[in-house]
Structure 1
Amino acid sequence: MGIFLRMCAIFLGIFAVFQFIPTYEKINPEIDSFLEIKAPKNVMQIFKRSCYDCHSNETRWPWYSDVAPMSWIVRRDVVNGRRALNFSEWENYDEEKKKELKKQIYRSVAFAMPIPQYLWTHPEAKLSDDDKLIIRKWASGGSGYMHYEVR
């Protein structure tokens, strides 16, 4: 058996073992429509297209979310995304938390979100300049800018 075939067999063996490593269960908790964020239709369309897979209980789990090692990355991103901000549970946040989350949304749409590895497989989620403007206007209460306190 040639070196190439041995390397392929080793790789396939490791890949097969990866499939048996337990990970976070793929779940979408039940949704209570009273807790979901209420925003204008154009804002909600952007959120649902570009944010909801990681930041809500309405994750669309792609086929590769069942195949390690991609499953580990997808599930980690969903868990961390929901922990940081969950649009499905928006009304559980107090007003101060909502205000802070809106500031984070305002900042993150400019450069950080959606994350690049998500865009590799979901190019439709990329935020256009108009999308960013719409979200920033919503997050800022219509003013288009945010006041930040310097600490």
Structure 2
Amino acid sequence: MKNTLLIIFVLFIAAQIIQTPRDNPLSDPQKEIQAPKEVHAVLKKACYDCHSNQVQYPWYANVAPVSWMISRHVDTARQWVNFSVWEDYTQEEKEKKLKEIFRAAYAAMPLSSYMAMHEKANITMEERKLIRDWTGVRK
């Protein structure tokens, strides 16, 4: 038992050597998504920590293997939609992403793993309706 714990501890320490990037690329504020104040507030509280270049990394984002998971989530989220570079998308991409935002807000976002550590990111039904109305998508 003692040897097993020692091995786990050594592996944990060794894992800290493998750091993942935790960056927020510089972006032009003029390219950020433009939405009504109420909608923008919902997006900021529930989405921006993964879907923007304004991620607020928590302290545990420095601890492997959690740091690896967070880095992967942010990279994937930014590929899906990045609100900091909204104006770089074509009109067709924006329309598609608005539909995806509507669906994700109703079905999957924010992720439950994120919600476990960020209660403030919870989206109420009223806020989901606000997003639906803003995107112009209907059920």
Q: TM-score with structure 1 length normalisation?
A: 0.88
Instruction: Give 5+ residue unaligned stretches, structure 1.
Output: 147-151
Task: Letter of the 2:111 partner, please give it.
Answer: I
Out of 71, 75, 82, which is 1:79 matched to? Answer: 75
Task: Letter of the 2:81 partner, please give it.
Answer: L
Task: Letter of the 2:15 partner, please give it.
Answer: F
Out of 49, 54, 77, which is 1:53 matched to? Answer: 49
Residue 149 (structure 1) aligns with: none
User: How far, CA to CA, are the matches of 1:121 and 1:31 in structure 2?
Assistant: 27
Give the CA deviation at 1:8.
Answer: 1.9
Out of 62, 65, 69, which is 1:66 matched to? Answer: 62
Give the CA deviation at 1:22.
Answer: 3.8
User: How far, CA to CA, are the matches of 2:19 and 2:110 in structure 1?
Assistant: 27
CA shift digits 1:106-145 (9 cap, x unpaired): 11111110111111110110111011000111011xxx61
Out of 7, 13, 16, which is 2:10 matched to? Answer: 13
Residue 85 (structure 2) aligns with: 89
Runs of 4+ in structure 1 over 3 Å off = none
Is 1:145 equivalent to 2:138 in the alignment? yes
User: How far, CA to CA, are the matches of 2:116 and 2:14 in structure 1?
Assistant: 26
Is 1:126 equivalent to 2:122 in the alignment? yes
Matches within 5 A, 1:92-103: 92-103=88-99
Task: Letter of the 1:12 partner, please give it.
Answer: F
User: How far, CA to CA, are the matches of 1:15 and 1:22 in structure 2?
Assistant: 13
Percent of paired sites with the same residue: 38
Q: Count residues in correspondence.
A: 139
The structure whose RCO (Cα within 8 Å, separation 6+) is larger is: 2
Task: Letter of the 1:17 partner, please give it.
Answer: A
